[in-house]
Amino acid sequence: QVAVEESGGGSVQAGGSLRLSCAASDDTFSSNCMAWFRQVPGQEREAVAAIHKRDGTVYYSDSVKGRFTISLDSPKTPLNVYLEMNSLKPEDTALYSCVADYRPRCLSDIAAQGDKGLIGRWGQGTQVTVSS
């Protein structure tokens, strides 16, 4: 059973929209946050958005705030977490990965230090390409 699996990536023109989905299985039941990260080859992985499963508190990076929305369809596994991406820019082009984060202070840890020290289950990622 795959613990975390993303879908929904693709190619879009600048200004367009995409919706990414991430299915998290029961294997991730004890995780506290679900988050989206992205990575461009040769660069560090960047936290994009995160959501706390129990209280719904969210985090967005400054680069996507106001354009991207993260949501859950359930606080309990199995669940789906979505990333609605609007007003896409070429600089949003990256491999987007979903992660189930088990740390007790996952949201603040992601906001402060990204994936440094992250304890979680990662998906394989889905490519998003935005053309100008």
pLDDT at position 53 over 90: yes
Q: In the block, which residue shows the tokens 């007790």?
A: 104
SS3 42: coil
Rounded Cα distance, 101 and 122, in Å: 9
pLDDT at position 2 over 90: no
**Which ranges of 4-132 does DSSP label H, i.e. alpha helix?**
106-113
pLDDT at position 82 over 80: yes
> What pLDDT shows up at residue 93?
98
Of 103, 96, 98, nearest in space to 119 by CA? 103
